[in-house]
Amino acid sequence: MKVRIDWTYKSPKNKVVQFLSEELEASEALLVAQDLERTGRTKRLQFADRHNSNWSIKELKNYVKEVETEPHDVTAYYDGGFDLQSKRAGLGCAIYFKQNGKEYRLRKNALIDEIASNNEAEYAALSMAVQELELLGVHHLPVRFVGDSRTLVNQMSGEWAVPEQTLASWADRIDQRLEKIGVHPEYEFVPRKENAEADRLATQALGEIVIESLIDLNADN
């Protein structure tokens, strides 16, 4: 989680000045805040997150300590492939996260029937990624969702309307699940070549090659 430091400074002549920092990772913000407190000129100090919630130093310390043992710093890549003839979709997701000082990668794909379009396949892939986050125990954190469908990214981020009822239903279900687990989505569009891992998983699913793995990325280091 990123926060801003909201610091009120009091000079020796009782002049009060308020400062608001740039965004910092919570753990880094705590270190800076401790330095500010050591000046002895702190009248008030708190933190503000992206959702306009305020945190005290004690609350942020507890949050950082708790998060370290749970999945955090999560990025989820997703992609959907569609076969027009069979009306089947291959779904792929690759989720990177940290936990207990280690870095992990989860890869998952699936083959589903009765899909009407490539756009619907993309929504189904995103939905699968969100479901995997819930199974991992990811909650009350910002998560980057990275995909190569500009349509989905703009629709899910609220920049574009979702005129098709089928896609709107997918979007509603995804939003409801994200709200349930307290995940704050940050949708990011990338060119297909930068989403190659999820694209490959989706293609493998269409070829009926099942992939499901969770590996420790530090294991060989």
CATH number where 146 lies:
3.30.420.10
Identify the bridge partners of residue 175 per DSSP, sorted by sequence position. Answer: none
| 128 and 184 fall within a common domain | yes
| Counted domains in the chain | 2
Which pTM value belongs to this model?
0.80
Enclosing domain of residue 7: 2-68
Does residue 164 sit within a domain? yes
Same domain, 53 and 149: no
Separation of alpha carbons 34 and 84, rounded Å = 59
**Domain co-membership, 98 together with 205:** yes
Stretch 207-214: mean pLDDT, rounded? 97
**Confidence tier at 170 by pLDDT (50, 70, 90):** very high
Residue 6 lies in a domain: yes
- Token output for 35: 């330095």
- Between residues 36 and 75, which one has the greater pLDDT? 75
Selection from 76, 214, 66, 77 nearest residue 140 by Cα: 66
- Please answer whether residues 133 and 174 qualify as being in contact, where contact means their C-beta atoms are separated by less than 8 angstroms: no
Residue 212 falls inside a structural domain: yes
Do 196 and 96 have their domain in common?
A: yes
**pLDDT at residue 221 above 70?**
no
45 and 149 assigned to the same domain = no
Task: Report pLDDT for 52.
Answer: 82
- Note whether residue 221 is domain-resident: no
Q: What is the pLDDT of residue 66?
A: 81
Q: Is the pLDDT of residue 29 over 70?
A: yes
Q: Does the pLDDT of residue 40 top 60, yes or no?
A: yes
Q: In the prediction, which pLDDT does 141 show?
A: 87
Question: Do residues 56 and 88 share a domain?
Answer: no
**Amino acid of residue 18:** Q
Verify that 18 and 117 share a domain, yes or no: no
Helices (H), 69-116: none
In the chain, pLDDT over 70 holds for what percent of residues?
Answer: 99
Q: Are residues 205 and 180 in the same domain?
A: yes
Q: Give the distance between the most distant pair of CA atoms in the chain.
A: 78
Query: What does pLDDT average to over the chain?
Result: 93
Mark which of 33, 68, 103 sits at the end of a domain.
Answer: 68
In the listed set 18, 47, 68, which residue is the last one of a domain according to the structure? 68
Question: Residue 127 to residues 38, 141, 171, 217: CA-CA distances in angstroms?
Answer: 47, 17, 9, 25
Query: What pLDDT shows up at residue 220?
Result: 62
Same domain, 49 and 97: no
Q: What number is the average pLDDT over the span 38-66?
A: 88
Same domain, 36 and 54: yes
Q: What is the pLDDT of residue 201?
A: 98
**Residue 205 shares a structural domain with residue 166:** yes
Q: Kindly state whether residue 192 falls inside one of the protein's structural domains.
A: yes
Q: Are residues 94 and 63 in the same domain?
A: no
> Does the pLDDT value for residue 100 go beyond 60?
yes
State residue 190's pLDDT score. 98
